[in-house]
Every structure is written in C-alpha cells, then in structure tokens.
Structure 1
Amino acid sequence: MVHAELDRLQACLNFALDTLRKEMDKSQLPPLSQHSLVEHPLDDPTTYLPSTALFEARRLSLACLGELKDLVQTPLDKRMDERYTAYAAVCTDTLIKTGIIDYLSDVPNSSQGVPAAELASRFELDSQKLVPILRCFAANGWARETCDYSFALNRCSRSFIKGHAGRRLNLFMPGFMSMVESIPSWVMESDWKLSRSPAQTPFQIAFKTPLHRFAWVMEHPHALIPIADHLQVHGDMSTPSVVADYPWKQLDTPIIVDCGGGKGGLVSAILDAHPSFQAIVQDTENVVALTSSIMEERRPRDVENGRLKVEAHDFFQPQPRIGNDYSFILRHIIHDWPDDEAVGVATILGNVARALGPKSKILIVDMVVVPNVDSTATTNAELFLLDSDVKRVDYSVPSHFGSASKIVNAFSVHMLTLMNGCERSLPEWETLVKGCGLCITNVYPLRAHTSIIECALDTRASP
C-alpha cells in the first residue's frame, strides 16, 4: 500500500531536519535541548540572526510538522485543541504574574523541579488550582514535570523570566477576551458588520468606547507601557534582519526617516551598520520626549553633530521632510489601518508619497500574506540543498508554509479586530501603493515574519 502524502511529508521533514542540523553545525551553535538551563542563541531573534538556510530549514520543519499533525490528528481532537488554546496562554500569563516563573528560575538545583505544594505555600495559592495550571503549561512545551507534582522550567520558558523579551510580549490585557468573543456577532449581526471604520470594531464593543484603539490608549496611560513594550519586542524581532537583508548601500538618499519610529531602536541599528547615513526618528509628541532622552543617553555624539534627530510628527499630516535627501521607513504602521477610510492608509501613505523626490524610497516593513491557493504547492527546495549533487525530491507543503504561517494569519485577524486593519497579500500591496502614485520596486523577504516592500514614485503614472 502506498501512503503517498505521509511518505512525502516524512521525506520533507527528514530533509528539513538534516539541513537544520548541518546549518547549526556550520554556525557552531550548540545542540537544541529542552532540558538545558540556559537559553539557546536561536531562542531570541532580537539578538541572533540565523543563516538564510537555517531560517528556511526551521520554517520548512514547522510546515511539515503542521501538515503531519493535520494528517494524523482526528478533526474532533483538532477542534478541541483549537478551542482550548486560550487556556494555555492564560496559564503562562498566570505563572508570570504570580512570580512563580521567576522563582523557578532562581531556586538552587532548578533542573530538579519544585513541588507544587512548595510553590502554593510560597505564594499563598491553592495547590489544587496550581497543579492543573502547571501541567497545562508543561503540556504546551514550557516546563517539565520532573516527578509527580514537581515542576521545572525548560530552555524555552526562560524567555519569560523578568528582563527577557518573552516577558514583554504580554498576551492579555483587560478586555482582550471580551474583544475576541465579540467577533462572530460583529461579523454577522452588528450594525457595524459592513463597516470598515477603525472606530467600529470589536475593540469598541469590548472596551465600551467610541474611540479607536490608539486614541483610547492615549487616554489610558496605564495601558500605554505594556502595549508599548509588546510593540517594541514585536519590532525588535525583525530589526537584525531588516539591517542585514536589505541592500542599504543602494539607497541614493543620505537621510533615513523612520515614521512612527518609537524609541529609535531600528535607526540606531541601521546607523551602527551603515555609518554614512543620517537618520530622523518621527513620532507623536508624547513619544518623542522619551525617545529624545534615550537617544541623548545612548548616542550623544550623533545627536550633538546632527547625524540623528528626533522630531514630533503626526503621519496623518503632510510630511515635512521633502525631496531627494530622504527615504522613509514605515514599520508595522500600514497594517493597523483600513484601505478606504479618510483617516487611514491612503492618508498616511499619500502624505509620504507627496514628499518623495525621484531618488527617494519608501520601505514598508510589514507582513506579506501568501494565499494557500494550492495545498500541494511545491516549495523551492533547491534553496536549502547544501549538496548540489543531491537529487531533488518533490517536497510538497502548503504554499504559505502551513503552520509556519499561523502567526501571520492570526495577526491579520488581530489587526481586523483592533482597527479594521489587516495583513495584505502582494497583489493587495500593489493595489494600495498604486492608489497613492507609487509602485513597488522590489520585495525583500526577511529572516522574520515580515518583508520589506520597497516603493518609489510611479513615473509611469506621470503625464
């Protein structure tokens, strides 16, 4: 009996894992182990950038594992997995907020684990509640139950320790679950079901406000810090790849303007790698005061000699930096907003487009959705082959890499829920920029979930 799909996926997974192993050896990385007491370099994309072949081997491995799971798991089990996913996230959040994760990281002989009864006593909790939470946490790959009722952190969960990037990717805030729960009625029954306004989404329903998300945050400063932390880590995850995977030396403009540049982390990394550039960080009034103090502390010489400037600018207003001296970065800005709103993408992108000179570029750093048109699309396996003499095998996985693209597609629904925004496919990006008098000159895939969509003035549109 021929098990064609199973055999093909097994061969693909073996190939991906073999490539992963070879690339790790080539990069002199330590073996992966969930029993390790230290984080692996690959665990933090904000500080370590893998080789392209290693990045793609990981992505292909995840795609194969997802396809294999879909092939062998029963639909009812899959549905139950889906339904109870929220509990896994809540368990992680609970263990962070109680302080249990930090405690488990500090105890002597932490690999041996700590009894749940000791944790319950130490944090004045009910052990009967704590044990199911810890076991759910462990079942989702974040901890080990070293013996009955005793738990230890594993390598991956160390990302949740205070001061680490995973800790700042806060999963929940008050009202989040209400927002998620309101999606079906919002789509099917509400007065807003045909609205694409950023002020008529599940966010307004859950938070009982007429304000769109960003306006609400400005009126609730207690929410600003955790949201800003989350967004900064989300951006930092792509920074090493943005710096390494875009050909910055080909830019003909001496000054880079980061629109909505936050604390200036991206332009700092670009300036470190490419000293010939100057940079400007633009953001709202309430952000630039903090950014200015950070830059004065970390890059005093650049601030003093004018190589780095921080200025207040609302990207819904005309862009003041005009002409051939400037190229612009819009990172994780466009996906927040719908296409056809008066206060939306057309306004933001149009304001920058009108400031461009013939040599200027707009670099949109955002996700590019790949539709799963053909569920047996063949990946470009030659990219990963380390030995050119190896005979090519038909490694078929979804064209959007299946489970490896879950983050992209879930993020699109998240943007829809918050602001009526979305992640866009390449044809959608082309339509969007064309409406602003621009054309896409290139797309640079990154070793991250995002790409750089390079745009310039569309000279073909000129009379």
Structure 2
Amino acid sequence: MAHAELDRLQACLNFALDTLRNEMNNSQLPPLSQQSLVEHPLDDSTKYLPSTGVFEARRLSLACLGELKNLIQSPLDKCMDERFAIYGVACTDTLIKTGIIDYLSDVPNASQGVPAAELASKFELDSKKLVPILRCCAASGWVRETRDSSFALNRCSRTFIEGNAGRRLNFSMPGHMSVIETIPHWVAESDWKLSRSPEQTAFQIAFNTPLLAFSWIVENPDVLVPIADHLQVFGDMSTPSIVADYPWQQLQTPVIVDCGGGQGGLISSILDAHPSFRAIVQDMENVVALTSSIMEERRPRDIESGVLKVEAHDFFQPQPRIGNEYSFILRHIMHDWPDKEATTILGNVARALGPKSKILIIDMVAVPNVDSTATTSVKSLMLDSRAKGPDYRIPSHFGSASRIVSGSSMHMLTMINGCERSLREWEKLVKGCGLRITNVYPLRAHTSIIECALDTRALM
C-alpha cells in the first residue's frame, strides 16, 4: 500500500535534518541538546547570525514537522491542541512573574531539578497549582520534569532568565486575552465589522476605549516601557541579517534616514559595518529625548562630528529630508497601519526622494499557500545545483515555520487593522505612491527588505 504523502514528508525531513547536521558542522556549531544548561548560539538571533544553509535547513525541518503533524494528528486532537495552546502562554508568564525561572537557574545541581513542594514553599504558592503549570510548560518544551513533580530548566527556558532576550520579548499586555476573545464578535457581529479604521478594532472593544492603540499605550506608562522593550527585541532579532544580507555598498546616497528608528539600534549596527555612511534617526518628540541620550552615551564621536543625528519627526507629516542625499528605512512601520494610513506614510517619504534615493521597507512578506511547492529552499540546500530537486510538496509559505508571520498579521489586525502583506499587496501599495519595487531581499529572519525607488516610468 502506497503512503505517498507520508513517504514524501519523511524523505524531506530526513533530507532537511541531514543538511542541518552537515551545515552546523561546517559552521563549527555544537550539537543541539534540550538537556543542556547552556544556551546554544542558535538560541539568540539578536547575537548570532546563522549561515544561509543552517537557516534554510532549520526552516525546512520545521515545515516538515508541521506538515507531518497536520497529516497524522486527528482533527479532534488538533482542535483540542489549539484550544489548550493559550494556556501555555499563561503558564510561562506565571513562571517568570513568580520568579521561579530565575530560582531554577541559580540552584546548585540545577540539572537534577527542584521539587514542586520546595518551589511552593519558597514562593508561598500552592504546589497543587504549580505541578499542572510546570507540566504544561514541560509539554511545550520549556522545562524538564526530572522525576515525579520535580522540575529543571532546559536549554530553551534559559532565554526567560532575567536579562535575556526572551524575557524582554515575552511581555504580554494586561487585558490582551480579552482582545483575542473579542475577535469573532468584532469580525462577524459588531457595527465595525466592515470598518478598516485603526480606531475601530477589537482592541477598542476589549479595552472599552476610543483611543488608538498607540495612544492608549502612551497614556498607560505601566505598559509603555515593557512594550518598548518588547519591540526593541523584536527588531533586534532581524538586525544582524539586515546588516549582512543587504548590499549597503550599492546605495548611492551618503545619508540613511531611519524613520521611526526608536532607540537607534539598527542605525548603530549599520554604521558599525559601513562607517562611510552618515545617518539620521527620526521618531516622535516623546521618543527622541531618550534616543538622543542613548546615542550620546554610546556614540559620542558620531554625535559630535555630525555623522549621526537624532531628530523629531512625525511620519504622517511631509518628510523634511529631501533629495538625492538621502535613502530611507521603514522597519516594522508599515505593518502597523491599514492601507490608507500606510499610503500616507509611504507617500510622504516618496515625495522626498531624489532619482538616486531608495526606500527600504523592512517587514514580513506573507506568502499565500496555494498548494504550491517551496522548491526554492530545497534547491538552495542542494550541494550540486545541477541535481534534480526532490518532489517534497512543502507549502510555499513553509507551513508551521511561518506561524510567526501569520500570528503577527493577526496581532496587527486586532490592534490597529494592520496586517502583514503579500508581495502582490506590497506592489499595489508601492505603486499607489509613485514607487516601484526594485528588489526584494529575503533575510535570515522572518522579515525581508523591500527595496523601492521612484517609478520614473510613470512620469514618462
């Protein structure tokens, strides 16, 4: 009896894992182990950029695993699995907020684990509640149950220790569960079900506020700083790849303007790698004071010499930096906004461009899944480019390996009616601003760089 789909996926997974093993050896990376108490270089994308081979092999492996799960898991189990997944978020939040994560990282003989009763006594908690919480985390691969009701950190959970990137990224805004619960009503029943306004979203319904999500956050300082920290890490995850995978030397403009550049982390990394550029970080008035102090501390010579400037600018207003001297970065800006507002932002920058200027939109590119085969990644892993690529039938969006893209799109939708756009949607948006896409650079990250320039053909 032929099991065509199962056989193809098994062959693809074997190929992907063999390639991952070989590529890791070529990069002199240590073996992966969940039992390890030491972080692996691949665990923190803000610090380590994997080779293209490692990145592609890992993505293909995850896609295969997701497709295998879809193939062999029963629909009823899948339904229960998804319904219960939300508890995993609450459980990891609990371990962080109680201090259990940090405690488990500091105990002697940490690999042996700590009894739940000891954790309950230490933190004045109920062990009957702690055991199901810890087992839920263990089922998700965040901790290990070393013996009955005793738990230890594993390699992955170390990202949640105080000071590590996962701890900062893991921030969950109080009340966000209510936003998720509101989605079906907002989409199908509310008076706003056909509205694409950023002021008529699931967020406004759940929080019972007329304020734009960004305005609400600014007025609630208890969430402002953690959200800013979360967004900083989210951006830093792609920074090494942005610097390495885009041909910055081809830019014909001497100055790079980072619109909505936050604390200046991306520009700093670009200047470190390409010191011939000058740079400007633009952001709102309430942000630039902090950015200026950070840059004055970290890059005093660049500030003093004028190589780096920080200035207040609202990207809903006309761009003041005009002409061939400037190219512009819009990182994680466009996905925040519906098409109407996104067109205003992009149009303001487009009208400032000179013939040599570029706009670099750094955002995710959503890939529609139309039962096509993601052959590009497979071919890029073939050592012999002339070899016939295997017929693996992996979804073009890499299935479960793209869940961060689809999840981000849902988050932006519910918060502000934004979304992650497909290439076709990017082309439409860009064309409407008098621009054309000159290239798309896939990154070793979840984002891509969409390079745009003035569409001189439209002026002819």
TM-score normalized by the length of structure 2: 0.99
- What number of residue pairs does the alignment pair up? 460
CA distance in 2, matches of 1:95, 1:173: 16
- For residues 232-279 of structure 1, the C-alpha deviation after alignment (integer angstroms, 9 at most, x for no partner) is 111000000000000000000000000000000000000000010000
Q: Aligned to 2:25, what secondary structure does the other structure show?
A: helix
The secondary structure found in structure 1 opposite 2:28 is coil
Q: Is the 8 A contact 2:60 2:377 kept in 1?
A: no
Aligned partners of 1:446, 1:309: CA distance in 2, in Å?
27
CA distance in 1, matches of 2:6, 2:178: 40
**Alignment deviations for residues 125-155 of structure 1 (CA, whole Å, 9 cap, x no partner):** 0000000000000110001000001000000
The secondary structure found in structure 2 opposite 1:347 is: helix
Task: Tell me how far apart the structure 1 counterparts of residues 316 and 144 of structure 2 sit (CA, whole Å).
Answer: 49
Counterpart amino acid of residue 173 in structure 1: M
Aligned counterpart, 1:130:
130
The aligned runs of 1:154-173 (5 Å cut-off) are 154-173=154-173
Aligned to 1:332: 332
The equivalences for 1:435-450 within 5 A come to 435-450=432-447
- For residues 294 and 104 of structure 1, what CA distance do their matches in structure 2 show? 33
Q: Letter of the aligned partner of 1:3 in structure 2? A: H
Give the distance between the partners of 2:182 and 2:174, measured in 1 at CA.
Answer: 14
| 2: CA distance, partners of 1:273 / 1:112 | 44
Q: How many angstroms does 1:376 deviate by?
A: 4.9
Q: Secondary structure at the match of 1:182?
A: helix
Distance in 1, Cα, partners of 2:376 & 2:261: 35
**Structure 1 pair 379–462 and aligned structure 2 pair: CA distance change class (3 A):** closer
In the alignment, structure 1 residue 355 sits paired with structure 2 residue 352: yes
User: Equivalents in 2 of 1:242, 1:378: separation in Å?
Assistant: 24
Structure 1 distance, partners of 2:375, 2:271, is 39
Is 1:25 equivalent to 2:25 in the alignment? yes
Change (3 A) 1:391 1:356: closer
Paired residue for 1:186? 186
How far 1:172 moved relative to its partner?
1.8
Please give the root-mean-square deviation of Cα atoms over the aligned residues, in Å: 1.1
2:346 partner letter: L
CA distance in 2, matches of 1:144, 1:191: 47
Which residue of the partner structure matches residue 10 of structure 2? 10
Provide the rounded CA distance (Å) in 2 between the counterparts of 1:418 and 1:380. Answer: 33
- SS of structure 2 residue aligned to 1:84: helix
Give the equivalent residue in structure 1 for 2:343: 346
CA distance in 1, matches of 2:379, 2:331: 31
Q: Partners of 1:453 and 1:376 in 2: how far apart?
A: 23
The one-character-per-residue Cα deviations of 1:83-117 (angstroms, maximum 9, x if unpaired) are: 11110011000000000000000001100000000
Shift, 1:392, TM fit: 3.4
Q: 2:151 corresponds to which residue?
A: 151
Task: Measure the CA separation in 1 of the matches of 2:330 and 2:417.
Answer: 19
Which residue is equivalent to 1:55? 55
Partner Cα separation in structure 2 for residue 71 and residue 176 of structure 1: 32
The reply on whether 1:115 has 2:105 as its aligned counterpart is no
Query: Aligned pair in 2 of structure 1 residues 220, 454: CA closer, same or farther (>3 Å)?
Result: same
Show the 5 A alignment for 1:238-253. 238-253=238-253
**Matched AA of 1:325:** E
Counterpart in 1 of 2:228?
A: 228
The 2-side partners of 1:240 and 1:376 are apart by 29
- Kindly, what percent of the aligned residue pairs are identical? 79
Give, as a single letter, the amino acid of the residue that structure 2 aligns with 1:332: H
Q: Distance in 1 between matches of 2:254 and 2:396?
A: 38
1:375 Cα shift?
5.1
- Per the normalisation by structure 1, the TM-score is 0.98
Q: Gaps spanning 5+ residues in structure 2: where?
A: none
| CA distance in structure 2 between the aligned counterparts of 1:386 and 1:50, rounded to whole angstroms | 18
Distance 2:192 2:271 in 1: 45
CA offset digits 1:419-450 (Å, max 9, x no partner): 00000000100000111111000000000000
Superposed CA offset, 1:366-395 (max 9, x none) = 000100012555454221023557653212
**Larger CA deviation: 167-176 vs 306-315:** 167-176
CA distance in 1, matches of 2:93, 2:129: 15
Rounded Cα–Cα distance in structure 2 between residues aligned with 1:378 and 1:51? 19
Contact 1:379 1:397 in 2 (8 A): no
Determine if the alignment matches structure 1 residue 454 to structure 2 residue 451: yes
Structure 2: distance between partners of 1:389 and 1:337: 43
Task: Verify: 1:319 aligned to 2:319, yes or no.
Answer: yes
